[in-house]
């Protein structure tokens, strides 16, 4: 791996597509971090004639500009490696999709947990209620399992699988 060196910020060209991806909140966080601990990761640049073109590290570059720096630590990469970079440019969308799916999964798990707790709470209240005379068609046998006295339908797939395992049915 090439050794990081110092590059003048004004000589670094940022492609228009990359400029559109600037997030001011990220630049601010990186700038604060740079004030505390300095620049930890170098940017990547490539030579294009007599100018340097930014390959990776847009937010770090913008943070240095915001701090009034004139130079930045960077690594000079060959043009062949820089051409493979567009795959990484798609990465923010992939990361956003992954975060979205993780949030949806968390919401689903929270919903299932809430349903399970309300079901458990209802069953506690049902057992606390005084016993009344049974109506025609239902049994009043305290030893009977709840699945036999009333048709209980599972709320989630995991409940259904547990019910199937308990009754010895195939699933």
The 10s digit of each residue's pLDDT in 1-51 is 678 888 999 999 998 888 888 899 999 999 998 888 888 899 999 988 888
Residue pair 74/7 in contact by the 8 Å Cβ criterion? yes
Residue 81 pLDDT level (bands cut at 50, 70, 90): low
Residue 112 has pLDDT above 80, yes or no: yes
pTM of the model: 0.47
Please give the helix or strand (H or E) that residue 38 lies within, else none: none
């Amino acid at each position: 791996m090439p050794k990081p060196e110092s590059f003048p910020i004004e000589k670094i060209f940022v492609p228009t597509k990359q400029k559109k991806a600037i997030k001011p909140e990220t630049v601010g966080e990186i700038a604060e971090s740079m004030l505390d601990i300095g620049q930890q990761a170098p940017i990547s640049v490539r030579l294009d004639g007599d100018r340097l073109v930014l390959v990776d590290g847009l937010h770090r570059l913008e943070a240095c500009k915001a701090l009034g720096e004139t130079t930045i630590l960077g690594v000079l990469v060959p043009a062949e490696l820089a051409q493979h970079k567009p795959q990484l440019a798609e990465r923010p969308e992939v990361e956003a999709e992954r975060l979205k799916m993780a949030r949806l999964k968390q919401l689903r798990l929270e919903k299932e947990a809430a349903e399970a707790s309300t079901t458990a709470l209802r069953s506690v209240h049902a057992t606390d209620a005084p016993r009344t005379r049974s109506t025609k068609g239902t049994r009043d046998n305290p030893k009977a399992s709840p699945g036999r006295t009333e048709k209980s339908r599972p709320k989630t797939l995991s409940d259904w699988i547990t019910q199937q395992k308990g009754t010895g049915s195939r699933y």
